[in-house]
Each structure stands twice: as structure tokens, then as C-alpha cells.
Amino acid sequence: MTPLRLFAVFLIFVLAAAAWMVLGTSNLFRSQEADRSMTSKVSGLYGEPQSQQAPGFTYETADGTRTASGVLAVDSTNATVDFRLDQRRKGLLWFATYKVGFTAAYTVSNPTTHPVDAIMTFTFPSAAGVYDGFVVKVDGRDVPVTYVEGAATAAFHLAPSAGVTVATGYRTFGMNEWRYVPRPDGVGVMKDFRLTMRTDFTDVDFTDGSVSPTAKSTSGQGLALTWACDSVVSGRDISLVMPKPANPGPLVYRIAFFAPVSLLFFFAGLVLLTATRDVKLHPVHYGFLAAAFFAFHLLLSYLADQIPVEIAFGIASLASVVLVVGYLRAVLGWSSVLVEVAVSQLLFLVLFSYSFFFEGLTGLAVTVGSVLTLGYFMSKTAKVDWETVFKRAPKPV
């Protein structure tokens, strides 16, 4: 191949890279627009990220002409949270929606030697949420509940130096994550604390800065996560992040932005392959091959918001491989070169792109593939006379 033809191939690569930047940017904008428009809609239908604060307890007492008030400390907490994952897909994005059932029992005691009127203030995760089956029971007896601005208050009587168990709970919907705030007033002492989360999934994660569970075990098809302590000083939340499939939007625009790297490896391999096998390809051929690569990303981009992204990836891969191998078969006929070209496309386009399905492994996959490819072509071309390969054709006399 002459230097002029190499420059033409390089120009084709640059134009293809520009086309991929446009496609990747388009996919990025589509994903961002879907995120803005769909998140509010999904939140309205299936709930927002949930953050449940521990209730607060106060008391008031009157002794003749003297009135006293204060805060009741929580002597023990025993809460259970049941999750049922209910993932929803809207266009290019997945939303990790879930159903949650929250129940808790709090023990409080009267610190005075006089009878007091106690009040529990329970703040819901969202004032716009729907909370089915909410009740407050004191030692097993229902007590009246008053609702004001996203919070519920329940009043009950406490005998001198006596303690009671206040139980409450509800069922609702949420999205992406759930957290429990045991000390909404900041750092404080949590005594005899136990919270258990039961899930129907095993792929669990926790938000940054939250407390890790003290015990974990299997429960049916999911897990039972437990946070337990006798007495600890803490102000950190307890949280759970819901799993969700790879979002098609971010996935396809990352693959599109990476595409020039795939084509660069493929073109480099094709140049070396044709040079060492005495196979002649015109720059126009390289242009059509670049278009066949581009067809993979174009199909993937617009199939991914209609069908599952794994199926879209398979269809796009098959279409691109058929285009490349079929075109080169028509150009070169049946030869062993077709096998090496097909393997190169599977490696540089399909496998490299598929590595984006695995968070954190893309860089490693590209690095390993690049090193192995470099070693293969170094061994195949070690004895090639490059002066002859790139020798200029003599000018006609």
C-alpha cells in the first residue's frame, strides 16, 4: 500500500470518527432528555427515593401550678423492612422501583414520677406519597392519629416511671434507594437497636457514608440484612440501593464514543493483514467497511429504546458482521483472509463493545485485547520486508 493510499485510509477513519462523535452526542442528549422527562413521571407513578426518619417522642406534664415538658428517649428499636423489586423501563432508561413494607416497634418510658401525656411525631418519607395501612398502636391498642403536612402525630398516656411499646408501619412504593435515619437530630446514642431488611433480590449495595449491616443471610430468593447494636453513638444512616439492569441510554452513547478505537484497531489489523498476504484493497473498500462498522452503532442506538438492549446488541452485531464479511467475500472471494477479518471484527467491535455491559471491566478488556493483538501481529510481521511493502510505484516514463 502506498503512502497516499494510507493517507486516504486515515482520512476515512477521521470522517468515521466524526460521525461517531455526532451519534454519541445525539444518544447522550436523548438519554439526558429521557432522564429529565421520565424521572418525574416515574416518581409520580411509583414513588420517590425513600428516606424514613425515626419518630420523635415528647411529653408534657402538669403538677398543680407547674408545667414541664421534655423529650422521651427511645429505649429500644425493632424495625423490619420488606422489599419487592419492581423495575420499570421507560425508553432508554431503567428505573429501580420497588414496593416496601415498613414496620417498627419503639420502647419509650416515662422519666418522671408523675403521669405524662406523650406525643409521637412520625414524619413520612414524602408528603406526596401514598402510605397504605398506617397505624399506631401503644401496647397493642390503637391510638388516634392526626395528620399535618406530611407527618403524623399520636398522643398517649404514660404512667409514672412506666414504659410502653409503640408500634407503627405502612406499605408504599419507592424508587432507586431506601434509607433509615435513626438520629434525625444528628449524632446520638442508639440503645438496643435492631433493623432487618428482607429483599427478593441478592444484588445489594449501600450509599456512600451509610452503615454496613452487622449480619447477612439468605432469605428465600433474596437476603436478610440486619443492623443490630446494644448501645452505639452514631449519626450515620442505614441505606439500601436497588439493583437495576444496564441503562440502554448511557450504554449506547459510551459504546458510540469508544467506536473510533475499535475501528482504529480493525483498520490497523486489516492493513497489516493485506500487506502480508498480498491482498489489494482500495481506500473505497475501507470506506464501505467503516460504514458497516457504523451500521452496528446506528442499529444499536435506535433498537435499544424499543427492545431489550441485549437483543438489540445481538441484532446489531450480526448485521455488521454479515455486512463486513459478505462485502469482503464479494471483493476477495473465498479465502483464509475472511476468517481472520471475521475474527478481528468479533474481537475489536463485538467483544470490545460488549465489555461495556460490565461496569469497571471495559478498560481491562481493551488493554488485554490490545496487548494480545499486538503480540499476534508482531509475530506475524516480524520477517516482513516493509521497504518492499510500502515501496512507491515507479512513475510512468
**Per-residue pLDDT reduced to its tens digit, 100-125:** 999 999 999 998 888 889 999 999 98
- For residue range 51-60, what is the model confidence (pLDDT) as tens digits? 999 999 999 8
Per-residue pLDDT of 255-270, as tens digits, reads 888 889 888 888 888 8
Q: What is the mean pLDDT of residues 327-347?
A: 82
Residue 98 sits in the same domain as residue 234: yes
What mean pLDDT comes out for the span 318-329? 90
Q: What is the sign of the dihedral through the CA atoms of 65, 70, 74 and 80?
A: positive
Average pLDDT score over the chain: 84
How confident is the model over 54-102, as pLDDT tens digits? 999 999 886 655 677 888 889 999 999 999 998 877 766 778 889 999 9
Sorting pLDDT into bands at 50, 70 and 90, what band is 226?
very high
Q: 255 and 163: one domain? A: no
Q: Measuring CA to CA, how many Å separate 358 from each of 23, 98, 288, 325, 365?
A: 22, 24, 30, 28, 10
* Residue 255 located in a structural domain: yes
Residues 82 and 226 in one domain: yes
Distance CA 345, CA 318 (A): 11
Q: Which residues contact 12 (CB under 8 A, 6 or more apart)?
A: 283, 286, 287, 290
How confident is the model over 206-229, as a mean pLDDT? 88
Are 144 and 84 contained in the same domain? yes
Last residue of a domain, one of 180, 211, 241: 241
Q: What percent of the chain has pLDDT over 70?
A: 89
| C-alpha distance from residue 126 to each of 167, 178, 314 (Å) | 20, 12, 42
CATH number at residue 132: 2.60.40.3680
**pLDDT: which is higher, 32 or 147:** 147
Kindly list the strands in the beta sheet with 50-53, ordered across the sheet, starting from the edge strand earlier in the chain: 50-53, 177-181, 238-241
Give the amino acid at 324. Answer: V
Its domain, for residue 341, covers 3-32+246-387
CB 341 within 8 A of CB 324: yes
Residue 198's pLDDT band (cuts 50, 70, 90)? very high
Instruction: Indicate whether 329 and 359 sit together in one domain.
Output: yes
Could you give the C-alpha distances from 175 to 46, 95, 135, 348, 354, in angstroms and in order?
Answer: 7, 7, 23, 37, 28
Domain end among 241, 269, 296: 241
Please return the burial class of 230, using the count of CB atoms within 10 Å of its CB with bins 0-12, 13-18 and 19+. exposed
pLDDT number for residue 127: 80
Q: Which amino acid is at 114?
A: H
Claim to verify: residue 98 and residue 237 sit in the same structural domain: yes
Tally the domains of the chain. 2
**Is there a single domain that holds both residue 264 and residue 342?**
yes
What residue type is 3 in one-letter code?
P
Are residues 283 and 217 part of one domain?
A: no
Residue 41 vs residue 311, higher pLDDT: 311
| Confidence grade of residue 367 (pLDDT, cut at 50, 70, 90) | confident
Whether 287 and 300 have beta carbons less than 8 Å apart is answered as no
Q: Cα-flanking dihedrals φ and ψ of residue 35, to 5°?
A: -65, -45
What pLDDT is stored for residue 291 in this prediction?
A: 93
Residue 392 placed within a domain: no
Residue for cell digits 469508544?
A: 258
Q: What are phi and psi of 316, to 5 degrees?
A: -65, -40
What 3-state class would DSSP assign to 147? strand
From 221, 241, 261, give the residue that closes a domain.
241
Q: What is the pLDDT of residue 87?
A: 82
**Is 40 part of a structural domain of the chain?**
no
Residue 126 scores a pLDDT above 60: yes
CB 253 within 8 A of CB 27: yes
* Rg from Cα positions in the chain: 32
Q: What is the pLDDT of residues 4-22, one digit of tens each?
A: 888 888 899 999 999 989 9
- Residue 346 covered by a domain: yes
- CB-based contact 234:118 (threshold 8 Å): no
The answer to whether residues 166 and 109 touch, using CB atoms and an 8 Å cutoff, is: no
Q: In what order do the strands lie in the sheet with 97-109?
A: 141-142, 132-138, 163-175, 97-109, 74-85, 188-198, 222-234, 215-219
Same structural domain, 259 and 189: no
What is the rounded CA–CA span in Å between residue 332 and residue 338? 8
Between CA 104 and CA 207 the distance in angstroms is 22
Say if 42 falls within a structural domain.
no
pLDDT of residue 212: 87
- Spatial separation of the C-alpha atoms in residues 285 and 9, rounded to whole Å: 9
Residues 229 and 167 in one domain: yes
| Co-location of 23 and 112 in the same domain | no
* pTM of the complete model: 0.68
Do the domain assignments include residue 39? Answer: no
Within a domain: residue 372?
yes
What is the CB neighbour count within 10 angstroms for residue 276? 14
In a domain, 394, yes or no: no
**53 & 193 share domain:** yes
Furthest C-alpha separation in the chain:
124
Q: Is the pLDDT of residue 135 over 80?
A: yes
Q: What is the pLDDT at residue 397?
A: 45
